[in-house]
Amino acid sequence: MATKGAKGKITMLTGADKTEVDLIPAGDSRMEAKGKFNVSAGTKAVVEITPEGKKPSTLRFAIK
């Protein structure tokens, strides 16, 4: 999937902490978030990616 022009966001839940970070295109088929994040076993994440001109897609996962 080409990421040029795409927008995205990741929401991470670690215990009672909630962190929302924008995702930016980082190459032909990658999106990335920059910064430091509190991620450990049990962290849950929701990722939303909206390719340019298309409907958003959502992915949910947990860190084990």
What gap in Å lies between CA 47 and CA 25, rounded to an integer? 14
Instruction: Give pLDDT tens digits for 13-32.
Output: 999 999 999 999 998 889 99
Q: What per-residue confidence (pLDDT) applies to 53?
A: 93
Residue 40: pLDDT band with limits 50, 70, 90: very high
Q: Of all residues in the chain, what percent carry a pLDDT higher than 90? A: 80
7: helix, coil or strand? Answer: strand
Q: Where does residue 29 rank: exposed (0-12), middle (13-18), buried (19+ CB within 10 A)?
A: exposed
pLDDT, tens digit, 9 for 90 and up, residues 1-12: 788 899 999 999
Rounded to two decimals, what is the model's pTM? Answer: 0.85
Whole-number mean pLDDT of the chain?
93
